[in-house]
Amino acid sequence: MDHCGFERSLMSLTTTRRGFIKGGAGLSLAAAASLYMAGCSGSTGEGKVLRYGCANPKVSLDLQTNTSNEIGVAESICEPLIRFNEKLEMEPVLLTKMPEISADGLTYTFELKDKLPVHDGSNLTANDVKFTFTRMFLPSTKNPSTNVYDTIVGAKDVMDGKTEELAGLTVQDDTHFTIVLESVQAIFLPMLTEFYALIYPEAACKAVGDSWGTGTNFVGTGPFKLTAESPTGLTLETFADYHGGPAKIDGIEVSYVDDPNTLVMNYKAGQIDLCNLAPSLYDQYVDDEEVAGSIVAYTPASTRFVNLNLHEDMFKDPRVRQALSLAINRDELVNTVLQGASTACSQFCAPGEEGHDDSLETLAFDPDKAKALLADAGVSGLAFDFPVRSRDEAVATALQEYWRNIGVTANISIMDDGMWVDQRAAGALPCTLITWTTLCWIGAEHMRSFFYSSKASQRSSFYDSPTFDSLVDEAEATMDAAKRTDLTLQADNQLVNVDFGTIPVDWPQTPYLKDEDFSGIYRVYDFKFTNQLA
């Protein structure tokens, strides 16, 4: 796909957006280039550097201690054993081949590539893999994301502080190891692709202790090496000894810009080559000739839905919940309010994830039936509070109007992100909008992580369906993909069309701007900077 809007000529000269820089913009670019070249050696890309603008995550790159990896940089420095490629196919990264799985689904056998080079001159071995997974469970790590990984035999004993020996991961030699699970987990392999499972070199990690993830001592096997870090950004140099062959550029310059609109203006000025386009700005820039041709659409496995607190008396009758769903014209909403930067929901599971059915039609819009259901339920003059975060205000306002048309009043209030999170956890939000994303592209886990009875009670939902719980349990316990997909579809239907336990609205896109001079960049939730970058 070609992406470039503001391209060609100026005073009969052919140029690109990247070369059209004036005044202060030119000075800023020169400063960035100077910062990069100061830390660059062994270049392979003839001076070509990707300039990436993003918000400052303000957290460590150690993704065992936090869950913020939206900028994608940590995965270009350290790597998981396997990953999803741009076709959403799992492929080996640090392994010679995909792991073998025993007939009972409990034992995974791995073979690492031999003598994997690390940025500090050492080599990664199977002992580093065991160190990484053991560290994941140590109480001192305070890892917030051990779900599914904790089914490795012995993981819970490590988490409980009973031992520091992870019994279920056995190293045979430098390149061979096995992992044994307590129970069959169909999503275990996809979970190994996630940034929570990046493999860390033991010696380097231990040498810096609690500072791991900050500064240039954060090293790994990835295609890019961190050479500079400051409050304003990062400098990464192409790793010449990368096990898959070096990237065809010299490095990546990451500039922190917190304001989404400023990011776009910097892109237009030719100061950066890649940045996210905030969905709230899509309408503003989709027809801007300077950037419209650079917009790349990306739909993650994310679902935006109306979360109803089923402990509230007004939402206990499923007819009321169904009526609220039928009142929504999803196709109109995504084409007008969201300017096409989204897809109307036909179920909960998003396109691309296991359990999505492309043949399903958009969830029904039938306001007359909605009114009839409310009348049948003996409900009139229904009104409720509808607190949302500012990012969801436009969609909430559209829903408010749809519901007004069936005689329902939703009182919108805008809530601070921190307060919203606290209120949701306390079960205090009567009705709100939530966007929920899965990183493993497995629909059963996507739904389980929010709507399973033990989870929903923590998220202002309180959905409690033994049928739904049983279906996702059975789905995740089978290694038969076709059976798992069928069970996931059944669970999705139970949630959305039988119990009306939630109201899916749309599958949001997360568009971004990319200069056409660069290739080999793709997204699976976050940006993937691999050795294919050119």
Q: How many residues does the chain have?
A: 534
Residue 308 has pLDDT above 80, yes or no: yes
Task: Identify the weakest region by mean pLDDT among 93-107, 233-247, 276-290, 305-319.
Answer: 276-290
Would 79-211 and 224-299+511-529 be classified into the same CATH topology? no
23 confidence band (pLDDT: 50, 70, 90): very low
What's the pLDDT tens digit per position in 390-410?
A: 889 999 999 999 999 999 999
* 174 CB neighbour count, 10 Å cutoff: 16
CA distance 132 to 448: 26
Residue of higher predicted confidence among 39 and 305 = 305
59 confidence band (pLDDT: 50, 70, 90): confident
CA distance 392 to 273: 28
CA distances from 180 to 104, 128, 231 (A): 11, 17, 42
What's the pLDDT tens digit per position in 281-306?
A: 888 898 899 998 999 988 889 999 99
- Domain ranges in the chain are 79-211, 224-299+511-529, 302-508
In sequence order, what are the residues at sequence separation of 6 or more whose Cβ sits closer than 8 angstroms to the Cβ of residue 89?
none
CA distance 204 to 37: 25
pLDDT of residue 371: 98
What's the pLDDT tens digit per position in 102-111?
A: 999 999 999 9
Helix, strand, or coil (residue 22): coil
Q: What is the DSSP string of 285-332?
A: HTT-TTTGGGEE----SEEEEEEE-TTSGGG-SHHHHHHHHHT--HHH
Interval 500-504 mean pLDDT: 98
| Average pLDDT of the residues of the chain | 89
Task: Identify the weakest region by mean pLDDT among 94-98, 298-302, 495-499.
Answer: 298-302
Residue 35 has pLDDT above 80, yes or no: no
Tokens of 203: 């010696």
Which one of 1.10.287.610, 3.90.76.10, 3.90.1640.20, 3.30.70.1560 gives the CATH number of domain 79-211? 3.90.76.10
- Residue 178, beta-bridge partner list: 109, 170
Torsion, Cα of 144, 148, 151, 152 (10° steps): -80
Residue of higher predicted confidence among 41 and 100 = 100
Q: What fold is seen in the domain 224-299+511-529? A: D-Maltodextrin-Binding Protein; domain 2 (3.40.190)
pLDDT of residue 41: 42
pTM given for the model? 0.77
Q: Is residue 22 within 8 Å of residue 311, measured between CB atoms? A: no
Nearest residue to 77 (alpha-carbon basis) of 66, 63, 59: 63
Domain 302-508, architecture per CATH: Roll (3.10)
Q: Is the dihedral of CA 431, 258, 68, 239 positive or negative?
A: positive
Residue 341 has pLDDT above 60, yes or no: yes
In sequence order, what are the residues at sequence separation of 6 or more whose Cβ sits closer than 8 angstroms to the Cβ of residue 30?
none
What's the pLDDT tens digit per position in 125-173?
A: 999 999 999 999 999 999 878 878 999 999 999 999 999 999 999 999 9
Write out the H or E segment, with its range, that includes residue 524: strand 521-524
What's the pLDDT tens digit per position in 172-224?
A: 999 999 999 999 998 899 999 989 999 999 999 999 999 999 999 999 999 99
pLDDT of residue 19: 32
479 confidence band (pLDDT: 50, 70, 90): confident
- How much of the chain, in percent, has pLDDT values that exceed 90? 73
Q: Is residue 466 within 8 Å of residue 294, measured between CB atoms? A: no
